[in-house]
Structure 1
Amino acid sequence: MSPYIQQVNFPSATCNDRLLWDTWMSMFHFPTLTVADELGLFSLLEKSPATAAEVAKILCLGNRSTEALLGVLTSIGYLVQHSGTFYITDVSRNFLLPNSPYYWGGILHLMRTNPLSHSSLLEALQNDKSTIYKDQDIWEAHEIDPEQAKAFTRHMHSQTISPALCAAKTGDFADVKRLLDVGGGSGAFCFALAQHYPEIRCTVLELPVVCRIAEEYISAARLQEQIDTLEADFFKDPFPKGYDAILFSNIFHDWGREKCLHLARSSFEALPKGGHIYLHEILLSDTKDSPLVATSFSMCMVWMAEGKQFTSDELHQLLTECGFENILVTPTSGYYSLISGRKP
Structure 2
Amino acid sequence: MGQVPVTDTPQPGTAPAGVVAPVVDRHGLTHLAYGFMASKALFAALGVDLFSCLAAGERTVPELSASTGVAAHRLATLLHALAGVGLVVAGPDGYTNAPAAQRYLVRGAPGDLGDYFRLQVAQQVYPALLHLDAGLAGTGVAFDAWSGLLADPGEARVFTEAQHAGSLGPARRLADRLAPAGPCSVLDVGGGSGAFSYALCARDPGVRATVLDLPAVVDVAREYRERAGLTDRVTLLAADAVRDPWPGGLDVVLMSYLLSALGDAEIDVVLAKAHACLRPGGLLVVHDFVLHDDAPGPAPAALWFLQYVASRPDAVSFSGATLAARLRGHGFAPRRPEVLIPEITKVIVSSTAVPT
TM over 0.5: yes
Q: Which residue of 2 aligns with 1:331?
A: 339
Q: Which residue of 2 aligns with 1:223?
A: 230
Instruction: State the distance in 1 between where 2:109 and 2:25 align.
Output: 42
**Contact 2:190/2:241, CA 8 A, preserved across alignment:** yes
Q: Which residue of 2 aligns with 1:46?
A: 55
Task: State the Cα deviation string for residues 71-114 of structure 1 (Å, max 9, x = none).
Answer: 44345443345555433345334432333464331441244444
Tell me: CA distance 1:60–1:212, structure 2 relative to 1, closer, same or farther (3 Å): closer
Q: Which amino acid aligns with 2:150?
A: H
Instruction: State the distance in 1 between where 2:207 and 2:129 align.
Output: 46
Tell me: CA distance 1:181–1:30, structure 2 relative to 1, closer, same or farther (3 Å): same
Q: Which residue of 1 aligns with 2:79?
A: 70
Q: Which residue of 2 aligns with 1:103?
A: 113
**Contact 2:209/2:234, CA 8 A, preserved across alignment:** yes
Tell me: CA distance 1:20–1:100, structure 2 relative to 1, closer, same or farther (3 Å): same
Alignment length, in residue pairs?
A: 326
The answer as to 2:134 corresponding to 1:123 is yes
Deviation at 1:58, TM superposition (A): 4.2
Aligned 1:260-275 pairs, distance under 5 A = 260-275=267-282
More displaced 10-residue stretch of structure 1: 35-44 or 299-308: 299-308
The answer as to 2:258 corresponding to 1:251 is yes
The answer as to 2:26 corresponding to 1:17 is yes
Q: Which amino acid aligns with 2:186?
A: L
Instruction: State the distance in 2 between where 1:62 and 1:92 align.
Output: 22
TM-score by length of 2: 0.82
More displaced 10-residue stretch of structure 1: 284-293 or 31-40: 284-293
Instruction: State the distance in 2 between where 1:128 and 1:244 align.
Output: 42
Instruction: State the distance in 1 between where 2:129 and 2:197 align.
Output: 37
More displaced 10-residue stretch of structure 1: 269-278 or 19-28: 19-28
Deviation at 1:327, TM superposition (A): 2.0
2:184 to 177, 189, 200: 177
Instruction: State the distance in 2 between where 1:77 and 1:175 align.
Output: 47
Instruction: State the distance in 2 between where 1:118 and 1:339 align.
Output: 28
Instruction: State the distance in 2 between where 1:225 and 1:94 align.
Output: 34
SS of 2:326's equivalent in the other structure is helix
- The answer to which structure, 1 or 2, has the higher relative contact order (CA under 8 A, 6+ apart) is 2
Tell me: CA distance 1:128–1:268, structure 2 relative to 1, closer, same or farther (3 Å): farther
Structure 1 portions without partners, runs of 5+: 1-14
1:310 to 315, 318, 330: 318
1:209 to 213, 216, 220: 216
Tell me: CA distance 1:172–1:321, structure 2 relative to 1, closer, same or farther (3 Å): farther
TM-score by length of 1: 0.84
Q: Which amino acid aligns with 1:218?
A: R
Higher Cα Rg, which structure: 1
Q: Which amino acid aligns with 2:79?
A: L
Q: Which residue of 2 aligns with 1:232?
A: 239
RMSD (Å), alpha carbons = 2.6
Identity of aligned residues (%): 24
Aligned 1:54-203 pairs, distance under 5 A = 54-56=63-65, 58-59=67-68, 61=70, 65-81=74-90, 84-100=93-109, 102-114=112-124, 115-116=126-127, 120-127=131-138, 130-131=141-142, 133=143, 136-143=144-151, 145-171=152-178, 173-174=180-181, 177-203=184-210
Tell me: CA distance 1:227–1:78, structure 2 relative to 1, closer, same or farther (3 Å): farther
More displaced 10-residue stretch of structure 1: 313-322 or 163-172: 163-172
Deviation at 1:52, TM superposition (A): 4.2
Instruction: State the distance in 1 between where 2:268 and 2:179 align.
Output: 23
Q: Which amino acid aligns with 1:254?
A: A
**Contact 2:54/2:95, CA 8 A, preserved across alignment:** yes
SS of 1:123's equivalent in the other structure is helix
Instruction: State the distance in 1 between where 2:180 and 2:100 align.
Output: 28
Instruction: State the distance in 2 between where 1:157 and 1:31 align.
Output: 22
Deviation at 1:53, TM superposition (A): 5.2
Q: Which amino acid aligns with 1:103?
A: L
